[in-house]
Every structure is written in C-alpha cells, then in structure tokens.
C-alpha cells in the first residue's frame, strides 16, 4: 500500500469476484467507513444501463463504497469526482497530461478513444442514500472489441506503451479521489464542475445526446450547477440530466 493512502479508508484486494459493485452492496451494511474494493479479475462486470463491461486480467476493476451525506442529486456528483481523480491518476502514472479528456457523463478518453468508465449505484430508501458504490473500470492492458456507433476502446498500454498493475494504479487513484472528494464536501460542486469542464471532451463542439425517448443534436456548452448536460440546439438551450453522448 502506498504511503499516500488516504487515512480512514479501508482497502480490499480480491483475486476474483463477480462484480466489485455487487461486493460493495454486500459488505456496505457492515462497514464503519469508506472502502476500496479491487478485483484482480471480475467475471460479471457491468456498465451503465446494464451493459456488459469486459474485464480481462490485468485491467483495473474497483469500487469505492461509502456513506455520503446529502440528497441523491448531490451524491450523484461523485461521478465527476471519480472522473477527475481518474484523469489525475492517469497523468501521474504516465507523466503525459496531453491526450486525456473527460466525456460526459462518465467516461475518460485517451487520444479520442474510451479508456475508462464509471458506474454509480446507490442503496437507500426514500430521499436518502445510505451507501454509494462508485465502480471504476480502466483498460490498463487490454481494450475490448469496438461496438457499432460507440467510441473505439483503447488501453493505456496500446496508447502509451506503459504497463501498470491494478494495485499500482489503485495506490495512485485513491489519494486523487480523496482530494476531489474533499473539494466537493468542503466547497460544494463549483470547483469540481470547473475542473471537469477544463478537461471536457468536445466542449463548444456539436454532439448528439440520446435519452431513452429522444435524440438531441447541438453544441455542447458544458454542465450546469447540478452536473446536467447543457446543449444549445436549434430550438434553444436544453438541459439534459441523463443521456448517452455521441460525437
């Protein structure tokens, strides 16, 4: 474990698990504080909207589980915390700030390809979230096959020639996550929002945002004070809280 490991945060490294987010849900009731769960192999990884997340050995699959305070919309802003932490960790291990970009709502890109994804899952009743699982997958060594209409997947190894183990990457990611979590808790969403937009992919360019029911094309103007996508369309500005974005 790194000397920079955040104080009060537990760490579990498992040789194999079905899903780190599923394990987070199982152990959350018994946790006394936040915990990172790292799986060296994940057999049933999943992404947003139930999509499969392929996770060959050597790639990064981990979940940060905690008991955050605040309403669900504020809790959900941890996806931006995770994205910023991922970007900072990747820059640290590669010493190459160029090439990394943040794609709304939950991806990290390298040289225009999808390198990492984030999945938030909550457990709670009513308006309160009792536990939050922030699942993170990074293609450290292997990139899955491309899917029609989606960004090409890339790996850190293929794009930079650098080989990083999951344990090494977690040692860098955990302090970065603690930093941005501290910014959110101490100062609110404003500094997180600004930092995220500073690294946003295709800001000021035309994109397509597809919800379950509709598809909207327009200029990506950033994210609002809640984290929703702001899109300037021919019909005026639209604020979209949840969608898939295509370039």
- In which band, very low, low, confident or very high, does the pLDDT at 73 lie, cut at 50, 70 and 90? confident
Tell me what the pLDDT averaged over the chain comes to.
Answer: 91
The CATH number of 206-246, from 3.10.129.10, 3.30.365.10, 1.10.10.10, 2.30.30.100, is 2.30.30.100
Q: How confident is the model at residue 170, as a pLDDT?
A: 98
DSSP assignment, residue 28?
G
pLDDT at 122 over 80: yes
Map out the domains of the chain as residue ranges: 10-198, 206-246
For residue 50, pLDDT over 80 is answered with: no
Confidence of residue 149 (pLDDT cuts 50, 70, 90): low
CA distance 212 to 143: 27
CATH topology of domain 10-198: BirA Bifunctional Protein; domain 2 (3.30.930)
Burial grade of 65 (CB within 10 A; 0-12, 13-18, 19 or more): buried
The strands making up 244-246's β-sheet, listed across from edge to edge, are: 236-240, 229-233, 215-223, 206-210, 244-246
159's enclosing H/E stretch is: helix 156-160
Mean pLDDT over 77-105 rounds to 96
Q: Which residue has the higher pLDDT, 162 or 48?
A: 162
């Amino acid at each position: 474990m790194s000397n920079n490991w955040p104080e009060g945060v537990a760490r579990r490294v498992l040789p194999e698990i079905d899903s780190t987010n599923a394990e987070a849900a199982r152990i959350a009731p018994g946790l006394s504080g936040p915990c990172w769960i790292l799986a060296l192999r994940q057999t049933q990884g999943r992404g947003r909207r139930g999509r499969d997340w392929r996770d060959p050995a050597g790639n990064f699959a981990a979940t940060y589980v905690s008991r955050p305070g605040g309403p669900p919309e504020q809790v959900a802003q941890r996806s931006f915390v995770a994205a910023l932490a991922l970007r900072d960790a990747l820059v640290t291990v590669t010493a190459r700030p160029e090439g990394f970009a943040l794609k709304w709502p939950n991806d990290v890109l390298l040289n225009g390809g999808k390198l990492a994804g984030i999945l938030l899952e909550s457990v709670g009743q009513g308006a309160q979230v009792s536990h939050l699982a922030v699942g993170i997958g990074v293609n450290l060594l292997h990139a899955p096959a491309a899917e029609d209409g989606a960004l090409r997947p890339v790996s850190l190894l293929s794009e930079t020639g650098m080989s990083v183990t999951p344990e090494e990457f977690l040692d860098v990611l955990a302090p970065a996550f603690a930093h941005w979590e501290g910014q959110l808790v101490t100062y609110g969403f404003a500094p997180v929002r600004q930092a995220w937009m500073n690294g946003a992919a295709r800001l000021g360019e035309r994109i397509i945002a597809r919800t379950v029911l509709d598809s909207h094309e327009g200029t990506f103007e950033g994210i609002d004070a809640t984290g929703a996508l702001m899109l300037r369309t021919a019909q005026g500005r639209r604020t979209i809280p949840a969608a898939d974005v295509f370039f």
